[in-house]
Amino acid sequence: MKAEFFVCSKRFFNRRALTAGGSGAFLAFEPSPAETRLHAGAVAGHAARGAASLLRFLLVLALTFLGLMAITFFIGRVIPIDPVLAVVGDRATQEAYEAARERMGLDRPLVVQFLSYVGDVLRGQLGNSISTGRSVAEDLGRVFPATLEMATLGIIIGVALGVPMGVIAATRQGSWVDQVIRVLGLLGYSVPAFWLGLVGLAVFYAGLGWVAGPGRIDIFYDGLVDPVTGLYLVDSLIAGEPEIFWNAVSHLLLPASILGFFSLAYIARMTRSFMLDQLGQEYVTTARVKGVAERRVIWRHAFYPIRIQLITVIGLSYAGLLEGSVMIETVFSWPGIGNYLTTALLNADMNAVLGATLVIGSVFILVNKISDVLYRVLDPRARR
């Protein structure tokens, strides 16, 4: 079908008629009915395959999300925390306990509870939080942008430094540069996040004064900017407040750099491994024998094929940062989703726990699907 489409399109659009005097001008033509039908059939077939691929993608996405809801729901029912006691307290009478249980719908069959839960989630109703007294959806809309802002800057730092470091380590395998980069990667895997956060605060905030302290922004700037997106950097620019913008950058820089260091370690290690495999391939050796410049050999012949693998690595790293680094958010008093989930667990706030878990799982699903789409864009073989 692809060959027919190519031939038909070529005939349909690129036919050149003979001209008087050999002027080479294009003359109008009318395609034959057979060519028109062939072209229309090829276009329709291509559109049908694209629609079928889109439907499969949406179906897989819906089934994955349904499975995630089932997992979060049943986990919430089997963990040894009684959500009724969290509401009424352990000194409530049996009558008050049963009334609260009936009001929360926990007296109904499990299947009915699950179907009701799915309906509530699809309507965006995640219940109310015991800890804050607000709806869980409202709380998540407030805390997730904080994690998104920190994780995005962290992954930018990790990719901007990790990929070149991995390439340099692979091209200078066994040298002191390679050893230093490998040690940095090992530190990124082994150093506890809370320790690195405390050391960073002691050195760069308390000692040198290069960055601001814990929190997203200084207290006297809080509430001065309308939360359009929930991202302080974006909202301060929208409001035309450069002073608040730079204050938010000063608070964000240190925790995001620590997250970037952890993602850098993973990305540099995987990039080095991928590059070593490519540099040992025969086509790279052939390019060097032919006298191709070493820079072109490295970035065009060796690095170009590993882009697909790096997309998966970067996507997984970004999703891991988006789930919220509990230790970093705790050390820096960062009001993100990891901190919110930890507080909800300690307070037996099951609505908040299930809502935050659902958001984290949805982030993993979304990042994974975006990685699949980019994989198909960069690798023509995956489109077949």
d(CA 268, CA 360): 25
Sequential DSSP letters for 72-122: HHHHHHHSS--HHHHHH-TT--HHHHHHHHHHTTTTS-HHHHHHHHHHHHH
Instruction: Give pTM, 2 decimals.
Output: 0.76
Looking up tokens 């726990």, which residue turns up? 353
pLDDT for 159 equals 92
Give the mean pLDDT of 24-35: 56
User: How does pLDDT run across 331-346, given as a tens digit for each residue?
Assistant: 888 888 888 888 888 8
Give the mean pLDDT of 225-233: 84
User: Exposed (0-12), middle (13-18) or buried (19+): which is 360, by Cβ within 10 Å?
Assistant: buried
pLDDT above 70 coverage of the chain, percent: 81
Model confidence at 12, pLDDT cuts 50, 70, 90, reads very low
User: How does pLDDT run across 37-89, given as a tens digit for each residue?
Assistant: 666 666 666 666 667 777 877 787 788 888 888 887 777 777 666 677 766 66
d(CA 238, CA 147): 20
d(CA 231, CA 146): 7
pLDDT for 294 equals 83
The yes or no reply on domain 136-383 and CATH 3.40.50.720 is no
- The segment(s) of the chain belonging to CATH 1.10.3720.10 are 136-383
CA 7 to chain centre: 41
d(CA 271, CA 263): 12
